[in-house]
Structure 1
Amino acid sequence: MNKSIILVGYMCVGKTTIGRDLAKLMNRTFYDLDWYIEERYHTKVSQIFAEKGEAHFRDLERRMLHEVAEFENVVLSCGGGTPCFFDNIDYMNQVGEVFYLKASPETILQHLSMSRGERPLLKDKTPEQLQQFVTEQLAQREPFYSKARHIVDVNVLDSFDKIKFVTQDIANAIG
């Protein structure tokens, strides 16, 4: 069985973009865990958060992680918080090759400013509040992210060529 390739890291670091490219390059199926949850439950993640709360979502997320990670030949992009709850990061390391896509708060804020997706946790924040929130949350999550077997610096992702380069690096690390 081929182990899953699992991408973790903060929001807007390129997990979905790199994951899609990596799956294509390695002839694997790509899954984004948030999208998988939305498809299975016919509800947006933001709506689950709003209606049932974060604790309910995190339990659901853990169960769906266990489901998808058992599939063969997959590349899985996880939500930014996924590795930080329950024993998720330890489980990921057991069933897959885990890559932490690491970026500085400055890079994340730059990517967020270009992002078209709605991010419920960031809504209605001033630029100063946003910077403080990202910096603090990244610091809280870093110990979990750092448990990944592989750490990839994605601060350089400012062009499609560099994304392809990082994707190829990850594929080479798998072998």
Structure 2
Amino acid sequence: MDGLEPGSRIQIQSYKHNGQLHRVWDTTTVLKGTTNKVIGANDKTLVTESDGRTWITREPAICFFHAKYWFNIIGMLRDDGIHYYCNISSPFVFEDQAIKYIDYDLDVKVFPDMTFSLLDEDEYELHKEEMNYPKVLDKILRKNVNYLLHWIRQRKGPFSPQFVDEWYEFFLTYRS
């Protein structure tokens, strides 16, 4: 897919349901890109928040986006193992050299032993009211939380034992 060739560099842009830009990761290297799936990697990349604050990621991360599922998965390589941060979000779109998605607040944090916590339920409920999420959207998001938890329990996709390590090794071939 144009712009998603392995080795190309793209941005990741997260929005809120009301269209407001939420967060931007400045540079991510594409490792695999198709119309349905993007696997990327970054390390010490600049992140800009909606209020203008910036910070730099601390560790290498493998990012997984899918055009069918309402979540994305970030596997972070830390000294004590792989930690995952999963955003419940719209499926991604790719335009203007950026992966774009709507962040729906609910997050799942997964630890190296594959235990997990569902986060930000209060923030989700607040934004659901403030931004008038339709009932059908709430159902879709809840169903995709269940899909994601199934993936975690089954060690499917990015949660499979070698996924992050193998893609990280591939990422290293693009670093100078």
Does the alignment reach a TM-score above 0.5? no
- Greater fraction helix: 1
- Greater fraction strand: 2
TM-score (norm 2): 0.29
